[in-house]
Amino acid sequence: MKKELTTEDLKLLLAGTHIKLDCGHQATPGHNFANTIIIVSLGGGKIETSCAECGY
Ligand SMILES: [Zn+2]
């Protein structure tokens, strides 16, 4: 398994997928890239996701 994912890899993984963000909003990369997804690394392998509206 690869250690690193590139943005290109993420795009392929996420394309057409409805992503339920931790902030409660949804994003669908590939359909509507107006939704910015913020991925925050919390350490210990944990991540948290949110949209640009809620992430700041
Ligand atoms: Zn949000």
pLDDT tens, 43-54? 998 999 998 888
1 lies in a domain? no
* Per-residue pLDDT reduced to its tens digit, 14-27: 887 888 899 998 88
- Report how far ligand 1's centroid is from the alpha carbon of 37 (Å): 9
Distance 14 CA to ligand 1 centre (A): 18
β-strand partners of 38: 50
Q: How remote is the CA of residue 11 from the centroid of ligand 1, in Å?
A: 20
Spacing, Cα 33 to ligand 1 middle (Å) = 14
Q: Give dist(CA 16, CA 28) in Å, integer.
A: 6
Distant-in-sequence, close-in-space partners of 55: CB < 8 Å, separation ≥ 6? 23, 36, 38, 40
Q: Look at residue 2 and tell me if it is in a domain.
A: no
pLDDT score recorded for residue 44: 92
Tell me whether residue 24 is in a domain.
yes
The two structure tokens encoding residue 32: 């509507």
23: its two tokens: 């902030």
Closest CA to 15 of 28, 2, 25: 28
Which pLDDT score is estimated for 31?
A: 57
**What pLDDT sits at residue 30?**
60
Does a structural domain hold residue 37?
Answer: yes
Range of the domain at 20: 7-55
